[in-house]
Structure 1
Amino acid sequence: MSVIGTGYLGATHAAAMAELGHEVVGVDVDEAKIERLSKGEVPFFEPGLPELLSKHVASGALRFTTSTAEAAQFGDIHFVCVGTPQRKGEFAADVSFVDAAFAEVTQHVRPGSVVVGKSTVPSGTAARLQPLVEAAGAELVWNPEFLREGFAVKDTLHPDRVVVGVSGDIGLAAINEAYAPIFETDNTPVIVTDFATAELVKVAANSFLATKISFINAMAEICEVTGADVVQLSDAIGKDARIGHRFLHAGLGFGGGCLPKDIRAFMARAGELGVDQALTFLKSVDDINMRRRARMVDLAREVCGGSLAGQRVAVLGAAFKPNSDDVRDSPALDVAVSVQKAGAAVRLYDPEAMNNCRALHPQLAYADSALEACRDADVVLHLTEWQEFRDLGPDEIGAVVKTKNILDGRNALDPELWRAAGWHFRALGRR
């Protein structure tokens, strides 16, 4: 099989398919990336992937190329795993990479092959691409991905469900063969459906998760003015089996390369289809999410006496979530930049995202460790809940800061512990 696109999704999928026993070739136009992958090197941080990749590159089961023609002739099933970023200046998704990948692969596929779309796309994309695939004598399948950064290998090899949008038996048989080791061992639920439903599953799931996150963050806003505690509130309502605790944690909100751009693209597509009113609530979801970042900057200003000008601010975390180096639309990095623009001297540290941060924001100052970032700080901002930061005690950090002010942007620290050690502790939605 071939995997077209070797970014986060494609590289993970290619290595996982090799782990399932298939011969796999990965394709990308980025020569530097292909060179690194061919050496068994992962160009981003994802736990477990380097070991899987290097294992199968060494065995010969997995190789990489820049030639789509070569890959198309090699495989019987071709997974398209290219990105659909948000268009600049718009909410809509940019599907040009998907269109280019399909145009290229369909020029070279053998008749009887199956082309599988895994990219997150606007509803109607598969139906638009189907004639192109069929004209090449191939069959189209839409098989959306549901990867969580930090758990991508597990989510690929042990998915909680597999969704397959098909128009014929050949495509379904190809998916069943590709995922046979998973189906045989995990009893994984398989939802076989049409293209439109398969496309909607991913964006609907992400929209629901984003709504749940923004709901509890809206409650955090209420808690701040009523004196309630959002952590206790979340725990209480999460015990309702209909609600549950997952994704019900107040803080800086969501970021990364999926949720923000997916809900915006969903709204844009609904507008194009004439049903924009059905998704107007997602605008509020997005607005609530962005307000949390502004609130953290305001809290930093408050604890610094009303102005950030000239203050030394330590920022712990830049990735949008722990166990990732992804800083796309990261709330943590957004806060760091905003605090600096307000006049503060910012020093930032993240265990894995430093290189990505430096590439995007060379104007920020970076530290080699969490304690170095905190040295002589007037306030410490805890913005990504890496275990490394949670393991640092108030006494250890207290020994290097100038003033014992800490703001917990993820509600992951114990306020009583920090206050007992003499810290002025503040968090979003907490007393």
Structure 2
Amino acid sequence: MGLGFMTFAFFLGAGNIIFPPLAGFLAGEHLTSAMFGFLTTAVGLPLAGLVAAALAGGGLPVMGRYLPPLAITLMGSAIFIIIGPAFAAPRTGLVAYEMGVKPFLDNPGQGALTLYTLVFFGVALLLSLSQGRLLEAVGKLLTPLLLLLLVALAIAVFVNPQGTQPAVTEAYMAQPFVKGFIEGYNTMDTFASLLFAMLILDVLRKKGVTETRAQSRYLMAAALIAAAGLGFVYISLFVLGGTSQGVVADAGNGGEIISAYVLSLFGAPGLWILSAIVTLACLTTAVGLVSSCADYFHNLTGKGSYKGWVIGIAAACMLVANVGLNTLISVSVPILVALYPVAIALVVATFLRPLMRAPVFAFRLIMSVAFFFGLLDGLQAAGLDMSLLDFMPLFGVGMAWVLPTAIAALVGLVGGKASQPVTA
């Protein structure tokens, strides 16, 4: 149970709670379909990632052992950049600003955001340089507090909804499930599951659980508990967003919706409590991301000092955060659309591994196809004119990678030489 709660805490970043309310608000009458699409990527795929890691006996390095070492290094580096200075880490500061400071300011401008991000990531920098038991203890306290607040909010949403269902927007009109599926990419949790699996297995080893089957059993149980918790949180927040017409007239991000809803339900005291918990939760997440990224690149390159990497990454986070939350999310979408299929393909290939005649051939084929067609989807999501490719199945909804990757998986199961070595 404790391991499951720890796994849940790994995934429940404060930044993740801003996406379901906005999706629920925009989906309108198509809320249920959009929600199931979102849950598939935000809960189902991370769960699948952890289970695949349990079956493989390890995280990204073990799951990708049939790929060239350079490919795994690049994939690991890309994941750390995405969850580090490029998107996830700056997002923690922006969510803290949107939910912890902005509701109390009158017409805040760029100057307020710049000052806040400077202070926020300055504190994150100092804490990353001297990680201690105090921060760890605060982190362990904040997750239960944040969860309790979300449970109270969920109960209130179902018992006493504050508004009505908004009208469905154009983005969710035609393919709400697919739109919700792609929105789930924003949590970045499928990427994270490939790394968290290594952390969880390390915890198990330190507790004396060294037998492979026992590790797999514990990891699967933890994954199920975490998935149940995440599902509860996301469903509640979807319903919150789907009953917020009248609470907010319009919203650019989910942080605005949650803040307005909490103010309507609990008044100013509730908003202050939300502000404090989210700010501290975002800070602890930022410290974890900055320090882990600095440690990874310091060990990978062997150049510079850990302190130097921390300073550089924290400074990059502060600079990126100044684009604002809405802009950061919109910029991240094409990159996530391009790279998420690669993570999904790795998880699928890991499940199919026992059926493959030639794992090296199969893994490299599946991953290459997923990357190529994911890149096409990403270019389209970035706004490039890709109309020449409209003939491809699902290309119009940003999922052209699905059918080719499925075909590649089938070819991988029967193709290649069975005598091929494991590493090449």
Instruction: State the TM bucket, normalised to the shorter chain.
Output: under 0.3
Structure with higher helix content: 2
State the structure with more CA Rg: 1
Structure with higher strand content: 1
Output the TM-score relative to the length of structure 2. Answer: 0.26
Higher relative contact order (CA 8 A, sep 6+): 2
